[in-house]
Each structure stands twice: as C-alpha cells, then as structure tokens.
Chains A and B, each alone.
Chain A
C-alpha cells in the first residue's frame, strides 16, 4: 500500500514539474524584447540575426521549441546561458551547493531555536514565560526574512560588527576544496579556520531565514505538547515521579513531533524560496543571487534552468516529508 501511494505521489510530482516547465516557458516567451538582439553588437546584419535565431531554435513554433527544450532537459541538457556563455546545468550545479548549505543551516537553526522554546513554553504553560514566547513568536512570524536580514545587518554588521555582511567566504583565503560544499568540506577536512570564516558569512542570512520558521516550529510544537501533557499517560508518568521536563522529553516530544513535521516540510520550501532575496541582500554567491542576475540580463535559458531546479527542490522536499510521515506514523505504517 505504501508503494502504491509512493507511485501516485511520484506521478503528481512529475505532473507538477511539467506544469512548472510549461508556465516558465510561456511566461518567458511572451516577454517583449528579443534576446538575440541583445547578444549582437548594434548594426548586426539581418542574416546574422537569422543565423543566431536558427542556432537557438527560435525560428520554430512555440510548441516545437517547448518539446525540443524539454527533450534536452530530460537528457540533462538545459541549454547555454546567453549572458555567461556557459552550459546552464554546470552553472546551476556550481551554485546549488551554496544555496543548499545555507538552507540546511537555516533549517537547523530554526529547529535549535524553535524546539527548546516549545519545550520551555509547554513546561511553563499558563505563565508569563509562555506569554512572552507567544509574543516573540507572533513578531517573528509576521516579519518576513527580507526585513529580518536588514535588521540583522544593522545589529551585527554595523552596530556590533561581529559577523560578515557580504559574500560567502573571505576572498583573501586560499580554498583547498574539491566540491562546492565549502562548509561540509571544511568540517571533513578539519579546517576549522575556514569553517569559522564560512559560518561568520552564513550566520546572518541563515538566521534571517530561520526566524519565521523557528516561530512556526515553536508555536505548533508547543500546542501539540500541551495537548499531550493532558493525556492519561502523561499524567501517569507524572504520578510515577517523573518531573515535568522529563515527561516532555521522554514521552511527549516524540508524539508531538509528527504534526509539526508535516508543517515544517511545507515551511522549509518557503525558506528555500526565501534564499533568493536573502542571498541578494548578503551578496551570498548562491543560486538565488544568480537567478536575479539572470532575470536582469534576460538570460532565458539560465532562468528556465534555475526555476526548474528550484521547483525540483520543492517537490523533493515535499516527497521526503510524505515518506518520513508515512514511516513515522504508526497508523499508516501498519495500514
């Protein structure tokens, strides 16, 4: 039964990706302004324009162009970037690790802030501590990552300059890395000097992305914990002599995690979407920053590639959440 669900899920995933491909393609093709005209110096002859149009397949009908492009994508050929004159796939793969590291670090930060606050709030339920946590959650939730980023720049970049406010790594450093996963590699190679520099750059953008998610985690988990702590087995554990904190950590947390997990999955896709502007804000050299440049330069193949990769990330995160949910939920596991 789980296998059937998985197959159905994979099918909807493909349909969604196909839909995204269609939408991007249509949106880009209705764009006024000829990308070919921008590639050539002014005064290029009509013959040259025609030759380039044929080269990029722009002389065919829209439907033909779409399926030629889609066929290429299926083989891993995303075309050539117009502004950077390089293979789109390798450009994207080169930048993707930076964005992934940022998103994952932000997710861990959100959990590291949100879970302890939820536990504290549930233990101190009904007191001023819980009310304070609620207010903090409310503020963190209604302020988006873009504004948090700016606030952090002011606080820790200017007022008390402890973190770097732009870039991914200090340009003066020699990087011995074989992959683009700088942070992971610096940990594996035990290069803690580099790790410190990378984290110093990553801290503020990651925190800006993490704050809204931390608020959601803390709010939802606290709610589930409070409900569970009123149930019989929690009362029983208390009677047996376990302290409130022990009851929460030993019994309640495990059961409260499931509803939180589903929502964290959806919210994590929002966080990934937020990297686009946060990377821009901190001049962090990731996929999102490159995407904005691609749009400004009207680099159609590059935009298509990046949007598709983002969409793929989104559906994969949703799939991962669904699978984890199915594995963890006893009702589905035995059904």
Chain B
C-alpha cells in the first residue's frame, strides 16, 4: 500500500515542477518582444562583458550581463527560447508521427513489414546521431527548417523501436483476439485497440524527444550550423561563452542552467505523464 501511495505522490510533484518551468519558459518565448529588456541583436561595444546585476560594474537594464559584443544576455536567452520551442515542438511531433506509425505497423502486422522496417532501423542506429545531424543540416543548408527536418529524420527510430515492441506485446493480448472474433478489421483493431494502450509510452517519449530536440539544436548552433550566426540561439550563446570562459563566466553559466532545467523538465514531465496516465499503474 505504502509503495503505491509513494508512487502516485512523487510523479505529481515532478509533473508540477517540470510543467511550471516549461510554462514559464513558453510564456517568455511567446511574449519575448514585450518582456525582453533589450534588443537581442543590438551590439554596444561600450557595454561589452558587463557582469550580472549583483556584481560590481553591472549596468541597470542588463540583468544577466552582456557578451563580448555587448549584447544583453537575458534578452538573448528569452529570444533563444522561441527557437528552442519551435524546434522542440515541430521536430518531436514529426519524429513521433513517422516513428510511431512505422512502429505500430511493424509491431502489429509483423511479417515482411516488420522485417523491412526493422532493417531500416538497424541501419539508422549504426549512424552516430550527432554526426548524422550535422551532415544533414550541411546538406539541406542552414536554417530552422533544416534543423527540424534533420532531427525528425534521425530520431524517428526512437519512437519506432519502443512502439514496435509495445504493439507486439499488445497484439498478443486476449482483448485483441476478442476484438478479432467480434469481427473488427485488422486496421480497426490496430487503431482502436492497440494504439490507445501504447499511447502513454508515446506521450512520455514525445516529451523526452522535445528535450533531445532542444539539445540537438543547441549542439548544431554550437558548431555554427543551425541558423544564422547572429540569431540568439542557446547553443550559439554557449559557443560564445565557451570562448570567453575566463573573462565572462556568466555567458556560459546562464544558458547552461537554462538548457539544463529545460532538458530535465521535458524528461521529468514525460515520465510524470506516463505514470499518471498509464492504465496499468492507474
């Protein structure tokens, strides 16, 4: 009994904490032009490498300090959240739709469909993902859409593998057999019986994947392959911070903390949702 109660209490706390941070960030991203204290692109060499507000030498209005070109760090982080969320939602949704569909088909129908899809997944898994992403973006040309396509093209396998395995287990269950005896078609059973039971895993993975997409975008902009060099991306800020680490630690620390919390929140949010809506645990 105690064990069950612990289980249902802990996920709620992390669901709220993670959801809270993500909502805050999403609000900041949507309202960016209204709430950002400065223009994220405005350079001012008079104000280069200003420290955060509590340190000596800071200037009012530049809360988290500035980078080596005098651009306001807080404003860049807020505008960077826009790019992070666009990539997270678009890329993760695309990867989820493609991967879950293929996984469902492979796991439920089995046979040739399964063999072909599994073989493709094997090939995909033999690529180092970061290198694959960099290669795809280089081929497609830098830009937001290339980043989104690259992440979707690489990460659909995550959904495919999990959904395939779960669909396989579900399709051997009695209720699927009952539905067949009751006269439902295979397509109908797959969508109406198997899919809802696989859904909690898909939702958890989707949230996890959003965190991964944010990281991949940061990595791509870190190696200067995401969108234009000027654009305020978290990875771009980190790359800048890595260079001036001995002169201005804050340029690395703040985007790092933001990224840290965001990735952690996406994964905890997913896990929390899964525990909450998993029919077995519930």
Contact = CB atoms under 8 A, between A and B. Distances in A.
B128 interface: yes
Identify the 6 closest CB pairs spanning chains A and B, nearest first: A19-B123, A273-B128, A142-B267, A311-B126, A31-B139, A276-B130
Chain B contact residues: over half helix, strand or loop, or mixed?
A: helix
Q: Which of B135, B222, B225, B238 is most buried by chain A, counting CB atoms within 10 A of its CB? A: B135
Contacts of A16: 119, 122-123, 126
Interface residues of B, number: 41
B128 A150 contact: no
B50 interface: no
B73 interface: no
Contact of A32 (B141, B238, B252): B141
29 contacts: A16-B119, A16-B122, A19-B120, A28-B139, A31-B139, A144-B263, A146-B215, A146-B218, A146-B219, A146-B222, A147-B256, A151-B256, A151-B260, A153-B245, A154-B252, A154-B253, A157-B245, A158-B245, A273-B127, A273-B128, A274-B130, A276-B130, A277-B130, A288-B131, A307-B127, A307-B132, A310-B131, A311-B126, A314-B128
Nearest to A272: B128
Interface in B128-174: 128-132, 134-136, 138-139, 141
A143 B263 contact: yes
Interface of A: 12, 15-17, 19-20, 23-24, 27-28, 30-32, 139, 142-144, 146-147, 150-151, 153-154, 157-158, 269, 272-277, 280-281, 288, 291-292, 295-296, 298, 303, 306-307, 310-311, 314-315
A298 B264 CA distance: 35
Contacts of B245: 153-154, 157-158
B268 A142 contact: yes
A320 to B, nearest CB: 15
B202 interface: no
Nearest to A149: B242
Contacts of A27: 135-136, 139
A27 B139 CA distance: 7
Contacts of A23: 123, 127
B45 interface: no
Q: Which of A16, A273, A277 is most buried by chain B, counting CB atoms within 10 A of its CB? A: A277
B134 A292 contact: yes
Contact of A17 (B126, B129, B224, B225): B126
A20 B267 contact: no
A20 B130 contact: no
B264 A142 contact: yes
Given A147-B256, A277-B223, 20 more contacts: A15-B119, A23-B127, A31-B139, A32-B139, A142-B211, A143-B263, A143-B264, A147-B215, A147-B260, A150-B256, A157-B245, A158-B249, A273-B127, A276-B130, A280-B222, A281-B222, A296-B223, A296-B225, A298-B138, A307-B132
